[in-house]
Amino acid sequence: MTSPPPLPPWLTRVGVFDLETTGIDVTRDRIVTAHVGVLDHHGAEIAARTWLADPGIPIPAGATAIHGITSERAYRDGAPAPQVIAGVVAALRSLLDQGVPVVAYNAAFDFSLLAHEARRHRIAPLENPSPVIDPLVIDKAYDRYRPGKRTLEIVAAHYRVDLVGAHDASADAVAAGRVAQALAQRFPLPPSAAELHTRQIGWARAQAASLTDYFVRIGRIEPTERLDGRWPVRDGDPARQGASAGSL
């Protein structure tokens, strides 16, 4: 059996990041749980921090059905939202300042919601976080015509990455990091995390434009509407932000 090719040096130590939230509106919804960790070249997590927040608003039943956190549990066991948000921002800033790439599946959702949460609580947000690695954007760029949805569960299975306990922030973050490493062993990624980050900006914009055209054709949005293709941080109306990771 042939061994997989070695990882690029910049993927042998990567940060991983995921949020579970009260909903999919990055401007209004709140963080419920968060995870930031570090994977080594084997995909083993060598450092990790998980937070449970009291989001300050009720957690809708639909969100609880996905991640399992009730309003009662968050109120009882969660830390104050500003404390959690400050901790997540600080952890990510530390990794990025060290030049460690941070993997987030559907990164524009997690980084955008975190930015809005930071501003809501008067915490300095991450400015132009880089380098970020988004396996969703990369997978769609290199395997554009593969049919089917692109949820993390489906994409992880496609690349033979185990995902036990989907929609747990820790499990999803680690699986996304391992998918990123699997992508690097399957496709000729750019030679540096910085160049990959730049390429993803263009890929995300093109993917949003293509999805816009499709949604217009099937009547899901009006011809005058455009999906927001900014990456890895976007703002504005969630109806123009494309589908969430869970619905792709």
- Considering only CA atoms, which of 25, 22, 45 is closest in space to residue 35? 45
User: What pLDDT is recorded for position 248?
Assistant: 40
Rounded to two decimals, the pTM is 0.93
Say whether pLDDT at 103 is over 60: yes
Q: What is the mean pLDDT of residues 120-142?
A: 97
47-67 pLDDT, tens digit per residue, is: 999 999 999 999 999 999 999
User: What pLDDT is recorded for position 235?
Assistant: 67
Which domains, and CATH codes, for the chain? 9-240 (3.30.420.10)
Say whether pLDDT at 238 is over 60: no
List, as one string, the DSSP characters of 11-76: GSSEEEEEEEES-S-TTT--EEEEEEEEE-TTS-EEEEEEEEEE-SSPPPHHHHHHH---HHHHHH
- Report the distance separating Cα 92 and Cα 17, nearest Å: 8
166-199 pLDDT, tens digit per residue, is: 899 999 999 999 999 999 999 999 999 999 999 9
- Considering only CA atoms, which of 137, 125, 164 is closest in space to residue 245? 137
Beta bridge partners of 53: 79
